[in-house]
Amino acid sequence: MSEHTDEAELRMEKSLESLQYNFGRVRTGRANPHILDSIKVDYYGVPTPITQLAGVKVPEASMLVIEPWDRSSLNNIEKAIRQSDLGITPSNDGRAIRLPFPQPTEERRKELVRDCKQYAEEARISVRNARKDANRAIDRDEELSEDQQNVEKKKIQKLTDEYVGKIDVLLKQKTAEVMEI
């Protein structure tokens, strides 16, 4: 593969990773520890991710349990969760915090599917932009003959089709997960 193809594939892979991260943050009614990734807790004046302060367990499909290693941080963790945009009310028993994930309504699930489709479309656009930039770089590369340029562009198109296909598969899986009761 050429440097143009490698660069395009790297950008397409990052788009796919970004999509997977965004899908991980979508609340489906099923407990997912990644939903806590963006929440920072004030720990001795330093904003710290919850996963660095506590063990996060999934004892059942609709419950997360957060057990801090330092019990003095329990109230700060609870406060950070309450102030976040999760929309889940934490339950503090003095040793651990429980986060119950209620099943979303049919209407809410449809909204979540719309959000997922939007994330997928953003990823497709990002993949297409990588293709466009790679094709421009190939056109500007004076070391390549016209035939070599065409071969490179076909490789880029094949990569694009492959990554768009992966995005479609991820979207289909996430949609099924969100709509599952």
Q: Give the model's pLDDT for residue 181.
A: 63
Is 3-25+105-179's fold the same as 33-100's? no
Q: Locate tokens 């143009």: which residue?
A: 4
Per-residue pLDDT of the chain (181 residues; tens, 9 = 90+): 678 899 999 999 999 999 998 888 777 767 778 788 888 998 888 899 988 889 999 888 888 899 999 888 899 999 998 888 777 888 889 889 998 887 888 888 898 899 999 999 999 999 999 999 999 999 998 888 889 999 999 999 999 999 999 999 999 999 998 887 6
What's the confidence (pLDDT) of residue 25? 77
Domain range annotation of the chain: 3-25+105-179, 33-100
The CATH architecture annotation of domain 33-100 reads 2-Layer Sandwich (3.30)
CATH superfamily of the 3-25+105-179 domain: Ribosome-recycling factor (1.10.132.20)
Q: What is the pLDDT of residue 1?
A: 61
On whether the CB atoms of residues 97 and 71 are closer than 8 A, the answer is no
- Which pair of structure tokens corresponds to residue 36? 């806590």
